[in-house]
Amino acid sequence: MTAAEVFARHLDLSSLHGSRGVVPCIFHQDRTPSLSVDLEAGVFNCFGCGQQGGVKRFRELVGEITTGDGPSTDRQRPGEVHELALAIAKRQPWMRPGVLASYHRADVIRDHFRAAADFRAAADREANEEEKWALLADAAWYETEAHRLDSLT
């Protein structure tokens, strides 16, 4: 049984655009649609009442399956959870080409600026003039490198 079949038994999916959209929530009094549904991934999230989860959780909430002491009648195929998680992860912003590299570059730039600030603070505490200038030179190098990396983006 597909996620679309499960959701269609309880929700009016006519307002969906393709396999995703927002429909009125059946878990609370809903004046405007607030239940986000993704039929491909088999997940839902209500922005009004906070109910969320996958097909199994939806079936539990509507009373199709029970949780607790007895065995569940809803058995998942091996790897089904992994496939769902992978499908959701692939749609996340950080999985777009180049985004992870941008995050890494931003981390390096931030670390360089922090190092420059640390070297300046150490220079302020240093009594020896020669050592102070050496620390300031290090700070200047890290700051220059951070600006160079930032200009590459």
- Rounded to 10 degrees, the C-alpha dihedral 60/71/5/2 comes to 120
Do 112 and 80 belong to one domain?
Answer: no
- When pLDDT is averaged across residues 8-15 and rounded to a whole number, the result is 90
Structure tokens at 68: 């607790």
Strand partners, 35: 23, 46
pLDDT on residue 69: 47
pLDDT at res. 48: 86
Residues 52 and 116 in one domain: no
Residues 27 and 76 in one domain: yes
Q: What is the mean pLDDT of residues 14-39?
A: 88
- For residue 134, the model assigns a pLDDT of 95
**Statement to judge: residues 70 and 122 lie in one domain:** no
For 88-142, write each residue's pLDDT tens digit. Answer: 666 666 667 777 788 888 899 999 999 999 999 999 999 999 999 999 999 999 9
- Choosing from 67, 91, 115, the residue where a domain stops is 91
pTM for the model stands at: 0.45
Number of domains in the chain: 2
Distance CA(48)–CA(43), nearest Å, equals 16
Among the three residues 45, 68, 91, which one is the final residue of a domain in this structure? 91
Residues 77 and 107 in one domain: no
In whole angstroms, what is the distance from residue 106 CA to residue 108 CA? Answer: 5
Give the model's pLDDT for residue 43.
92
Q: How far apart are CA 44 and CA 53, in angstroms?
A: 6
Q: In this structure, are 64 and 106 located in the same domain?
A: no
What's the pLDDT score for residue 153? 63
Give residue 76's pLDDT. 53
In this structure, the answer to whether residues 9 and 47 fall within a common structural domain is yes
- Judging by beta carbons within 10 Å of its beta carbon (0-12, 13-18, 19+), is residue 41 exposed, middle or buried? buried
The pLDDT of residue 68: 55
Which of 71, 91, 111 corresponds to the end of one domain? 91
Does 87 share its domain with 105? no
Query: Are 73 and 116 in a shared domain?
Result: no
**Residue whose structure tokens are 């959780």:** 57
Say what the pLDDT of residue 71 is: 45
- If asked whether residues 69 and 107 sit together in one domain, one would say no
- Give residue-wise pLDDT tens across range 34-55: 899 999 899 999 888 888 999 9
Mean of the pLDDT values across residues 17-25? 89
Q: Which domain holds residue 26?
A: 3-91
Confidence of residue 143 (pLDDT cuts 50, 70, 90): very high
